[in-house]
Amino acid sequence: MPPIPDTIIPGNRIKQTLHDGGSVIGTMLVEIRQPSVMQLLANAGFDFVLIDTEHGPFNIETVADLSRAARQLGITPIVRIPEITYTAVTQPLDAGAQGIMIPRVTDVHQVREALGMMKYAPIGRRGSVLSRGHTGFKSGPVDSAMNQANEESMLVVQIETAQILERLDEILSVPGIDAALIGPNDLSIALGVPGKMNDQKLVAAIEKSMEACNRHNVVAAIHMNELPLAVEWARRGMRMVSFNSEAGLLMKSGQESVTAIRAMKRQPAENNGS
């Protein structure tokens, strides 16, 4: 019989990279439920994926399949939950997600509630279970599994409301927050400049958020759908950048290809001198 390992919790690759001062790049998963999509994202070089259950169609069985495939391919699966409830927080983690992202944060109590649900005792109150997706269906010492899970799980809070901008220092000072991801679309709406990614109000809010993250040793993160903006904010210090989505990447590449081919077809044939 093989020896029982010291830990049955897989390491969180991006958490280690960020801890070491590195940067990571990911995308959002919004529609494709086939686990093989993770192979495509891994081939493209992505470090993490945001599985969107706030706006996406994914149920917990699909989240389990996607998370397992992602981990096996070296991509860190993070689930954006629709609301802060015990089921919404713990089921994805038990299924194998390595992080939780909470949207629409407005006050510190939401963050503390989420942390209490996603962390095991003595930090939180998450119920203990082994031999599930998060352990690769392995069993082992309960105490070391809980301790390791607390170390490897990530909490990402979203900065996308007017209220959080007023309470950045209070919220980001809560121990246990790993990253704060700016959702610029909702934030632009909250600031009265909907969809204007280069508006000075939005730019100033992003800069303010980055400064607060730096003060509290929280990783500054952002999601952008336009490549030049994603590159620019990475240049300016965002160490965790989420770019577009699997659906957006497919559509953009497809549209560019179709446009180029149709444009060529409309050009007159070259005169070859015959």
**58-68 burial, b for 16+ CB within 10 Å, e for fewer?**
beeebbbbbbb
Tokens for 167? 């309470």
Asked if residues 78 and 51 have their Cβ atoms less than 8 Å apart, the reply is yes
Q: Is 55 a catalytic residue?
A: yes
Q: Which of 49, 14, 52, 16 is nearest to 31 (CA)?
A: 52
Q: Which of 219, 263, 256 is nearest to 241 (CA)?
A: 219
Q: Do the strands 48-52 and 24-29 form a parallel or antiparallel pair, or are they unpaired?
A: parallel
> Of 55, 134, 216, 223, which is the active-site residue?
55
Task: Give the long-range contacts of residues 141-145, CB within 8 A, separation 24 or more.
Answer: 141/4, 141/6, 144/6, 144/7, 145/7, 145/8, 145/9
Helices (H), the chain: 13-19, 37-44, 60-72, 86-95, 108-118, 142-152, 162-166, 168-172, 184-190, 200-215, 227-235, 246-266
Q: Which of 109, 115, 60, 107 is nearest to 82 (CA)?
A: 60
Asked if residues 69 and 122 have their Cβ atoms less than 8 Å apart, the reply is no
Catalogue the active-site residues: 55
